[in-house]
Structure 1
Amino acid sequence: MTEVKKYELRLYVAGNTTKSVAALSNLKKYCEEYLKGQYVIEVIDLLVQPQLAEGDQIFAIPTLVRKVPEPIRKIIGDLSNEEKVLVGLDIRPA
């Protein structure tokens, strides 16, 4: 049996801005399409938990951080460019 690759994704946002909402919705769409059953998304609102920005060195929002699989990758923006997100997360469409 082959090991299923698990993706641990962390999306940093600041409140419910248009960009933050778009980023989360785009991310969910790509994950459902390409990583169904193989991902966990953690959304961190820096207005609520600003101290968490330091750990992942977040300087812009929204920022998506792929914690697992390593190496850690970051994508900044609303994630509307599907190709860029797939390349950034190292996801190869089947």
Structure 2
Amino acid sequence: MTPVKSKTWELRLYVAGKTQKSITALANLQKYCEEHLKGQYVIEVIDLLEKPQLAEGDQIFAVPTLVRKVPEPIRKIIGDLSNEEKVLVGLNIRPHSSQ
């Protein structure tokens, strides 16, 4: 039995159309993931204008909202994700030391 070294982070970003806030949130999320979770993440973008029924499952009340599905526990962050420290703390990602 081989030990599982890395887990895949499953992230869902809920947006409502291609607004500036939605575009900014996705760009910020991709940047943080590349810096801190390179090769260990999947981002699913859900546009609630196209699929409004999906908002209920994750109890989405505002957009953009980021939901971390895996690893558990589920965590949510609302907003354009421009504050990197807040996002990393909210997702419980430990930044790599710069040494």
Secondary structure at the aligned position of 2:55 is classed as: helix
**TM-score normalised over the length of structure 2:** 0.92
1:12 is matched with 14
Q: CA deviation at 1:5?
A: 2.2
Secondary structure at the aligned position of 2:44 is classed as: strand
Question: What is the alpha-carbon distance in structure 2 between the residues aligned to residue 87 and residue 17 of structure 1?
Answer: 25
**TM-score normalised over the length of structure 1:** 0.97
Secondary structure at the aligned position of 1:65 is classed as: strand
Q: Does 1:21 align with 2:23?
A: yes
The structure 2 residue matched to 1:90, chosen from 89, 92, 97, is 92
2:42 is matched with 40
2:70 is matched with 68
1:31 is matched with 33
Secondary structure at the aligned position of 2:33 is classed as: helix
Question: What is the alpha-carbon distance in structure 2 between the residues aligned to residue 6 and residue 93 of structure 1?
Answer: 17
Question: What is the alpha-carbon distance in structure 1 between the residues aligned to residue 24 and residue 73 of structure 2?
Answer: 25
- Moved beyond 4 Å, runs of 4+: none
- Unaligned stretches of 5+ in structure 1? none
Question: What is the alpha-carbon distance in structure 1 between the residues aligned to residue 83 and residue 26 of structure 2?
Answer: 13
Equivalent residues, number: 94
The two structures, once aligned, show a CA RMSD in angstroms of 0.8
